[in-house]
Amino acid sequence: MSPVAPCTVVVFGGTGDLAVRKLLPALYLRDRDGQLPPGSRIVGAARAGLDTDGYRDKIRGELARFVPAPLLDAGTLTRFLDRLDYVSLDFAGGDDWSALHDVLTPDSVRVFYLACAPSLFGPISHHLARHGLVEPTSRVVLEKPIGRDLASARAINDAVGEVFDESQIFRIDHYLGKESVQNLLVTRFANTLLEPLWNSTWIDHVQITVSESLGVGTRGGYYDTSGALRDMLQNHLLQVLCLVAMEPPTIVDRETVRDEKLKVLQALRPMTADDVERFTVTGQYGPGLVDGGAVPGYRDEVENPDSRTETFVAVRAEVRNWRWAGVPFYLRTGKRLEKRSSEIVVQFKDVPHPMFPRAEGATEPNRLVIRLQPDEGICLHMTAKEPGPGGIRLRPVSLDLNYVDAFDRPSPDAYERLLMDVVRGDPTLFMRRDEVETAWAWVEPILQTWDRTGRVPRRYPAGTSGPTDATTLIERDGRAWYEGTSV
């Protein structure tokens, strides 16, 4: 891990949940590994009236909560906290920007990380420009979701684009920084085994599940205006779908991978109002039991007894191209489900001819299960003969690769990798404007139909696998969600 260039990372929203839980711990860990050279600075900016000492104290406490204890050493901690400055600023207002100017060191790469509401992305960019803080080497990082529909995404992209060139804009989707998601590309394209089978001739369907056991926690204010479709599916799940479905790029570089992902998004079959009724399911968690403890329902958590925000969404999508014609992609994600588990299941077609008519036991379809988190790995489900002298007895078995065991080291957090890519100026793992807007264009008819028909999400008890309608969605096609139980 070679050091990056000296940099100044300004975190707009430096006291927020994302900053303290993810961004500052990621920067601390990169510092610990020697990737932040001397002179690199980190500036927290928010409205809270803190001074730099107060901010350092706050971040010291947050690092103790969010960095594993064995990785918190006194030397790195002192060096890291010394790098921190704090500027109290109203991002929407016009004052105080000179205070920011004063803490930006010359001769370092300026990274403006916008960890705040997307409605502030345009105003912040304009303030930065008006106060002469943007240099040709500066970069801006935009957190997802960018906007809440296609029009607002375009407006934000236009506003930011008036100040920053597209090459300076890094639209982050942290799922692309997860080791297991990057490994999906390597699994597909650095092996010859899978690619010949990776098409509608051999694949029956694909499932992408991102299941969270956590609820909305402290983010209810944001989440209640967003919901699972905007928060997770429009970005993370569609990006994962792109990596599963895309054609092999000629080389992995900043544009080719994104070009191929864009083609997948453009090939998604648009949803008619009728499709939205048939192929989308929404749910909202009620009270229930998670990990043996009672938890409140969503409406109580966000203190909105009438909320219709979906905390669960399932969608049946299709990619209309030669490779994937007729192969459904079932996507689902939700909060307060029974377990935290994200995985891709590629289910192959049944064997074309039953060779073992008198065998006991049944064949199961081959499945490739790519576990994104936790317990990252790949598992190939096959059918084998159970050992024994009698007749043939068929048994499902699995070939299982667990990354931590195989490589004897835990994966770094996605933000660690992505933040260093920003400083290096490598946008390969970031979403390009056209990708984000094409994803919104596909999602928009779903949002509009739900609005028009007054869709009320089905209630599901916290700690379960979501609303039963999601089971019906896939069972109607004669298929079933893979719940990790058959092998």
Ligand X SMILES: NC(=O)C1=CN([C@@H]2O[C@H](COP(=O)(O)OP(=O)(O)OC[C@H]3O[C@@H](n4cnc5c(N)ncnc54)[C@H](OP(=O)(O)O)[C@@H]3O)[C@@H](O)[C@H]2O)C=CC1
Residue 118, contacted partner among ligand LXAUTJHC, ligand X, none, CB below 5-8 A by kind: ligand X
Asked whether position 343 contacts ligand LXAUTJHC by CB under 6 A, the answer is: no
Asked whether position 205 contacts ligand X by CB under 6 A, the answer is: no
What is the rounded distance in angstroms from the CA atom of residue 345 to the CA atom of residue 326?
Answer: 17
What is the rounded distance in angstroms from the CA atom of residue 322 to the CA atom of residue 141?
Answer: 35
Q: Would you say 90 is a known binding-site residue?
A: yes
A 10 A CB-CB count for 81 gives 18
Nearer to ligand LXAUTJHC, 232 or 243 (CB): 232
DSSP state of 180: H
**Residues in contact with ligand X, shown as a per-residue x/- string from 221 to 260 under the rule CB under 6 A:** -x--------------------------------------
Residue 329, contacted partner among ligand X, ligand LXAUTJHC, none, CB below 5-8 A by kind: none
Compute CA distances 62 → 46, 79, 81, 412, whole Å.
16, 16, 12, 19
Residue 143, contacted partner among ligand X, ligand LXAUTJHC, none, CB below 5-8 A by kind: ligand X
Residue 117, contacted partner among ligand X, ligand LXAUTJHC, none, CB below 5-8 A by kind: ligand X
**Helix, strand or coil, per DSSP, at residue 361:** coil
Q: Which residues 415-474 are close enough to bind ligand X by CB under 6 A?
A: none
Asked whether position 310 contacts ligand LXAUTJHC by CB under 6 A, the answer is: no
Nearer to ligand X, 232 or 380 (CB): 232
What percent helix, strand, coil does the chain show, rounded to 5? 40, 25, 40
Asked whether position 231 contacts ligand LXAUTJHC by CB under 6 A, the answer is: yes
Q: Which residues 15-44 are close enough to bind ligand X by CB under 6 A?
A: 15-19
Asked whether the bond before 374 is cis by omega within 30 degrees of 0, the reply is yes
Residue 380, contacted partner among ligand X, ligand LXAUTJHC, none, CB below 5-8 A by kind: none
Residue 17, contacted partner among ligand LXAUTJHC, ligand X, none, CB below 5-8 A by kind: ligand X
Tell me the residue ranges of DSSP E strands in 150-300. Answer: 169-171, 203-211, 280-286, 288-290, 293-295
Asked whether position 115 contacts ligand X by CB under 6 A, the answer is: yes
Cβ of residue 436: shortest distance to ligand X, in angstroms?
A: 13
Nearer to ligand LXAUTJHC, 231 or 435 (CB): 231
What is the rounded distance in angstroms from the CA atom of residue 466 to the CA atom of residue 211?
Answer: 9
Shortest-Cβ-distance residue relative to ligand LXAUTJHC:
231
Asked whether position 204 contacts ligand LXAUTJHC by CB under 6 A, the answer is: no
Q: Give alpha helix (H) positions in 83-120.
A: 97-103
What is the rounded distance in angstroms from the CA atom of residue 170 to the CA atom of residue 140?
Answer: 6
Among 42, 67, 72, 89, binds ligand X (CB under 6 A): 89
| Residue partners of 318: CB distance under 8 A and separation at least 6 | 268, 269, 324, 326, 327, 328, 329
Residue 46, contacted partner among ligand LXAUTJHC, ligand X, none, CB below 5-8 A by kind: ligand X
Residue 62 burial (CB < 10 Å; 0-12/13-18/19+)? Answer: middle
Q: CA-based Rg of the chain, rounded to a whole angstrom?
A: 24
Cβ of residue 217: shortest distance to ligand LXAUTJHC, in angstroms?
A: 8
What is the rounded distance in angstroms from the CA atom of residue 350 to the CA atom of residue 364?
Answer: 8
Q: Provide the edge-to-edge strand list for the sheet that holds 109-114.
A: 84-88, 41-46, 7-12, 109-114, 139-142, 169-171
Asked whether position 376 contacts ligand LXAUTJHC by CB under 6 A, the answer is: no
Asked whether position 416 contacts ligand LXAUTJHC by CB under 6 A, the answer is: no
Element (H, E) at 43: strand 41-46
Annotated catalytic sites, by residue? 236
Q: Would you say 91 is a known binding-site residue?
A: yes
What is the rounded distance in angstroms from the CA atom of residue 412 to the CA atom of residue 404?
Answer: 11
Asked whether position 143 contacts ligand X by CB under 6 A, the answer is: yes
**Helix, strand or coil, per DSSP, at residue 373:** strand
Asked whether position 212 contacts ligand LXAUTJHC by CB under 6 A, the answer is: yes
Nearest to 335 by CA among 297, 307, 361, 365: 297
Instruction: Give the number of C-alpha atoms closer than 13 A to the C-alpha of residue 232, restricted to the C-beta side.
Output: 21
Residue 212, contacted partner among ligand X, ligand LXAUTJHC, none, CB below 5-8 A by kind: ligand LXAUTJHC
Nearer to ligand LXAUTJHC, 373 or 448 (CB): 373
**Helix, strand or coil, per DSSP, at residue 213:** coil
Asked whether position 301 contacts ligand LXAUTJHC by CB under 6 A, the answer is: no
Nearer to ligand LXAUTJHC, 179 or 260 (CB): 179
> Residues annotated in the binding site for NADP(+), as ranges?
47, 90-91, 144
- Residues lying near ligand X in the complex (CB under 6 A): 13-19, 46-48, 89-92, 115-118, 120, 143-144, 219, 222
Point out which residues bind ligand LXAUTJHC (CB under 6 A). 212, 231-232
The annotated binding site for substrate is made up of 174, 178, 212, 231, 335
Residues at the binding site are 47, 90-91, 144, 174, 178, 212, 231, 335
